[in-house]
Amino acid sequence: GENVEQHPSTLSVQEGDSAVIKCTYSDSASNYFPWYKQELGKRPQLIIDIRSNVGEKKDQRIAVTLNKTAKHFSLHITETQPEDSAVYFCAAGYTGGFKTIFGAGTRLFVKA
């Protein structure tokens, strides 16, 4: 069935450094790749997304890249700040319906 793998499970960086989280997906019919951020005790919220007709998308310090051939997509956060500390989830949406499948999450720690 559909599957999304996410790495690493935990990532610790120094404030100001970059952070990269990588995901792979199994279903080639996937066409929507969102990233959600979940702060401690709060609901997940969308921070950026990309559709399969686009290879890269950037929003200020956050960027996402997509390689459809390899079924890989990645989240890049530059100039990390302590408020970036959270759990980040990648996900894949499927054209066969409306469901979204999530990766296991990456806990990002940004040390001041």
Kindly list the residues in this chain that would bind another protein in the complex (CB under 8 A): 1, 6, 9, 31-32, 34, 36, 42-46, 49, 51, 89, 93-105
Nearer to another protein, 16 or 96 (CB): 96
Shortest Cβ distance from residue 105 to another protein (Å)? 5
Nearer to another protein, 80 or 88 (CB): 88
Chain-centre distance for alpha carbon 5 = 11
Are residues 3 and 103 in contact, defined by beta-carbon separation less than 8 angstroms? no
Are residues 66 and 56 in contact, defined by beta-carbon separation less than 8 angstroms? yes
Nearer to another protein, 42 or 112 (CB): 42
Q: Strand 72-77's sheet: what is its strand order?
A: 4-7, 19-25, 72-77, 62-67, 56-59
Shortest Cβ distance from residue 61 to another protein (Å)? 20
Shortest Cβ distance from residue 23 to another protein (Å)? 11
The Cα–Cα gap between 65 and 19 comes to 14
Shortest Cβ distance from residue 16 to another protein (Å)? 28
The Cα–Cα gap between 83 and 111 comes to 10
Nearer to another protein, 59 or 79 (CB): 59
